[in-house]
Amino acid sequence: MTPLNLRKHAPRGPRETLLGFYFLLRTIDKLRAELPGGSLGEYLNHDRGFSAYVIRRLGLDMNDLRRVVAQAADENAVASWLAARIDLTAAPQLNAKLETFVVERMSGEDQILVRERHPVMATRRDLSKILDILAADDALAFSSSSR
């Protein structure tokens, strides 16, 4: 797959789906940004992030997916690899779980991290759902040439 430069545009939105699952397309975009010639920009791809959470919930290893993305000819190859390894019927349940992630139920430490890592939180205190925060943060970051 070709690398992505997430300094120029956001990864796909947190609610965009692949195989019915939220966050897989966003995760693939971030993994493509890690490839030589790509750039994560200000995005993160760490063990405590939502991409890592989703991949663990699917029973996968992030490094295995990272290798598949690096070696795949295209996204269809990644989707085929995923489809052979995950329970596709679990998508509605996992997506519903992701919709319940709100800042107020996070640990104090994680609330601080969310507020530090997502600039939109400085002006949009009305946002509570993590998926909404991520989407609004992407929109804010690319509404001007701030990245």
**Angle between the N-to-C axes of helices 24-34 and 75-83, in degrees from 0 to 180, rounded to the nearest 10:** 130
Amino acid at residue number 122? A
Could you give the C-alpha distances from 27 to 24, 55, 115, 128, in angstroms and in order?
5, 9, 21, 21
Q: Which residues of the chain have pLDDT under 70?
A: 144-147
Q: What is the pLDDT of residue 144?
A: 59
> Does this model's pTM top 0.85?
yes
Q: What is the pLDDT of residue 146?
A: 45
